[in-house]
Structure 1
Amino acid sequence: MSAGSHALPNGTNGTGTAAGDSVLSRLEKLRDARVVVTGGGGLVGSRLVALLRRVGADVAVLDRMDAYPESAHTTFGVARTGARLVVGDVCDRAAVAGLLRDADFVVHAAAYADVAACTRRPDIAFRANVQGTQVVLEEAARARVRRLVLVSSASVYGDGPADSPGPHVFHEDQALFPLSVYANGKLWAEHQTRLMLGAESGCEYAVVRYFSVYGEPQIPKPGSHSWMVPWLSLQARLGRPMRLNGGGVQVRDLVHVEDIAEATALALVEEGMAEQTVNVGTGVPTSVREVADLVAGYFPGARRIVTPRPEGDPLGGYADTERCAELLRWRARVDVAEGVDRYVRWLLATPEAMPRWLVEDRA
């Protein structure tokens, strides 16, 4: 199956309507609604906040703004959206309570969101991803917000069933096999959300499991092995060999950040999403090596080397997207070939986005 084989005809979203128009018209329900986005300063959060502001929502962001070095948060641009930005921590109960007191909706995206970093520092991961989530859930229930959308991850699936060959297609009701500290935290957050929220609490919830998010202006973090599109693109741009951890056989369902933002916003308003969990992906498996081949097309002479597969890095799989299509009435629109093209062209046109720490790294 080719990397771009899931593109839908004429820019439709599978419902026969123009995807962009359909999403924006349905999000009109959020006009003047008060929405709090935790972790709204990151790649996904900033794109989501911009979309919410576009449809007239009154948005407040809670973010530590320290997840990336240098000027990445400026590049992501949440400060330019017109949202109220509160620099703070989800473990700070007073800050969370103050923001949620008058909120209609919450998107809880704040997390120590790096598999390798969580493995190195499980203590920090526990504080951010478990304790912080508990604070947000308690205050959301206390404030009786209309709905909280929990951002989870396909990492909860791990490698899927051990007794069958991959790549696996992951569906929402199958057994879960988290392989990392990060995945454990996400699975706990899902269970705790179901325990604390729902019809009896007066606060609806929905869970969105993101598959492999990528897209401009994504920049990797030092010491991370996640975010393969920027990693491979940056290595090729610097004339260094593209590192294929484990030979690049891992399969990912690469979903563009633009699509992620749309699906997350729709999870706030679609009635069928109450107390439901959906995969947010494309339904197309793409190997790391396939991505390297796409990137190499922009950099003549680009080389590849095989490096060890990091601890906790799943062999992966791809999303069953039927429940997402049914409950959100939405499908991803940006295929991998288009997404890589967008990213590389952005990178070439934005030399100031090249991380200084990576340029100076001679290891």
Structure 2
Amino acid sequence: MTARLEKLAGARVVVTGGAGLVGSRLTALLRGVEADVTVLDRMDAYPESTHEMFGAHQSGTDLVVGDVRDREAVRRVLAGAEYLVHAAAFADVAACTRRPDIAFAANVEGTEVVLEEAATAGVRRMVFVSSAAVYGNGTSPTDGIQCFSEEQAPHPLSVYANSKLWAEHQTRLLLAGTGTDYAILRYFSVYGDPQVPKPGSHSWMVAWLAMHARVGLPMHLNGGGVQVRDLVHVDDIAAATALALVEDGVVGETVNVGTGIPTSVREVGELIAPHFPGSRFVTTPRPADDPLGGYAATDRLRELLRWTPEITVREGVERYVRWLNATPAAVPGWLTEQA
């Protein structure tokens, strides 16, 4: 992989939303192959202490604090850029449901500005970060666990998913024929240190369960924890995204980024529990709108990126627990207060 990424050495790469968990890991990887990286980020999605853990202020990256809806700011950072990863988004599903106006502004208006300016600036290639949320419950929601393929029709069930699907379509419409190549990546369930859960959100299963166990709170299993997710470590997510900048086969394509392995909520809890003696589970009713979930079809990932994820869920959970035990201050105050 490193050899393939060497073609980015000296190239100007812009990462919107590059100060978040995925973005910061991606920029570190790009700096490692000597790319000239510029990050555009509002820096308000997390507390400052969390951004420090992400490494958003590390040397070697030009950090520009700004909004993707600000056309002048976007135009300035894209001047002379050869590559672009558009990861900036209002990315919390529950928060998007509570505030669809913010979701629209960030994920729709902001993406439109980025697409227009990328084409005008003559960016060589743009990678758009989408989500497996566009699949919703899949095509057969009553059949239980499903394998989600890029060929099947999307069925977004949330404001967040709907905004991502719109942005996918708009990427294809606006960049086709402009000279700016594009690739669309649908991330499945991203996890890994230093992920910190946000209040009012129940995404990020590994972080939620591990931090609850760490502070002595029970790990809640809705419906017994039978729901599954395709958990992909953030290091693997960053690797796939970087490869999408250089692999020719992915141009114009939509690709799942997942492991192809379903992991249940209970399985994750059972991996975490031995690290925290006395930890316990509480079974709660499964909400009617809580999907049983699914996992990624990975044929396109293997074929077009010539790569597969390397970090197993067991290894990734152990990494997270080691980091959490070494960084107890990472547990947010609102969670400690609950304990």
Q: Identify the TM-score tier after normalising by the shorter chain.
A: over 0.9
Quote the residue 1:125 is aligned against. Answer: 103
Say whether residues 1:314 and 2:295 are aligned partners: no
What are the superposed Cα offsets for residues 4-60 of structure 1, whole Å, 9 maximum, x if unpaired?
Answer: xxxxxxxxxxxxxxxxxxx11100010000000000000000000000000010000
Quote the residue 1:141 is aligned against. Answer: 119
CA contact (8 A) 1:253 1:282 kept: yes
CA distance in structure 1 between the aligned counterparts of 2:193 and 2:328, rounded to whole angstroms: 13
Quote the residue 1:19 is aligned against. Answer: none
How far did 1:82 drift? 1.4
Say whether residues 1:325 and 2:308 are aligned partners: no
Whichever residue aligns with residue 93 of structure 2, its letter is V
What are the superposed Cα offsets for residues 300-351 of structure 1, whole Å, 9 maximum, x if unpaired?
Answer: 2211113354686433100011110000000000000000000001100111
CA distance in structure 1 between the aligned counterparts of 2:140 and 2:249, rounded to whole angstroms: 33
Q: Which moved more, 1:164-173 or 1:189-198?
A: 164-173
How far did 1:244 drift? 1.8
CA contact (8 A) 1:50 1:78 kept: no
Runs of 4+ in 1 over 3 A off after TM superposition: 307-314
CA contact (8 A) 2:231 2:313 kept: yes
Quote the residue 1:249 is aligned against. Answer: 226
Whichever residue aligns with residue 46 of structure 2, its letter is Y
When normalised by structure 1's length, the TM-score is 0.91
Superposition map of 1:12-23 within 5 A: 23=1
Say whether residues 1:188 and 2:193 are aligned partners: no
| Secondary structure at 1:297 match in 2 | helix
Aligned residues with identical type, % of pairs = 69
How far did 1:361 drift? 3.1
Unpaired segments ≥5 residues, structure 2: none
CA distance in structure 2 between the aligned counterparts of 1:260 and 1:329, rounded to whole angstroms: 14
Unpaired segments ≥5 residues, structure 1: 1-22
Quote the residue 1:24 is aligned against. Answer: 2
Whichever residue aligns with residue 292 of structure 1, its letter is G
Provide closer, same or farther for how the CA distance between residues 313 and 57 of structure 1 changes in structure 2, counting only shifts above 3 A. farther
Whichever residue aligns with residue 105 of structure 2, its letter is R
How far did 1:163 drift? 6.0
CA contact (8 A) 2:139 2:152 kept: no
Quote the residue 2:268 is aligned against. Answer: 291
Quote the residue 1:265 is aligned against. Answer: 242
Quote the residue 1:210 is aligned against. Answer: 187
Provide closer, same or farther for how the CA distance between residues 65 and 172 of structure 1 changes in structure 2, counting only shifts above 3 A. same
Whichever residue aligns with residue 110 of structure 2, its letter is G
CA distance in structure 1 between the aligned counterparts of 2:288 and 2:25, rounded to whole angstroms: 30
How far did 1:68 drift? 1.3
Provide closer, same or farther for how the CA distance between residues 244 and 305 of structure 1 changes in structure 2, counting only shifts above 3 A. same
When normalised by structure 2's length, the TM-score is 0.97
CA contact (8 A) 2:224 2:283 kept: yes
Question: Greater relative contact order (Cα 8 A, min sep 6): structure 1 or 2?
Answer: 1
Name which of 57, 68, 91 aligns with 1:90. 68
What are the superposed Cα offsets for residues 279-299 of structure 1, whole Å, 9 maximum, x if unpaired?
Answer: 001010001111011111211
Provide closer, same or farther for how the CA distance between residues 134 and 203 of structure 1 changes in structure 2, counting only shifts above 3 A. same
Provide closer, same or farther for how the CA distance between residues 150 and 311 of structure 1 changes in structure 2, counting only shifts above 3 A. farther
CA distance in structure 1 between the aligned counterparts of 2:19 and 2:59, rounded to whole angstroms: 11
Whichever residue aligns with residue 283 of structure 1, its letter is G
What are the superposed Cα offsets for residues 147-206 of structure 1, whole Å, 9 maximum, x if unpaired?
Answer: 0000000001111123651210011110111111110011001000000013x1110000
Q: Which moved more, 1:77-86 or 1:211-220?
A: 77-86
Q: How many residues align?
A: 339
Name which of 239, 258, 283 aligns with 1:281. 258
| Secondary structure at 1:141 match in 2 | helix
Note the aligned Cα RMSD (angstroms): 1.3
Say whether residues 1:44 and 2:22 are aligned partners: yes
How far did 1:101 drift? 1.8
What are the superposed Cα offsets for residues 54-108 of structure 1, whole Å, 9 maximum, x if unpaired?
Answer: 0010000000111113510000002114100001111111000111121100000
Provide closer, same or farther for how the CA distance between residues 356 and 60 of structure 1 changes in structure 2, counting only shifts above 3 A. same
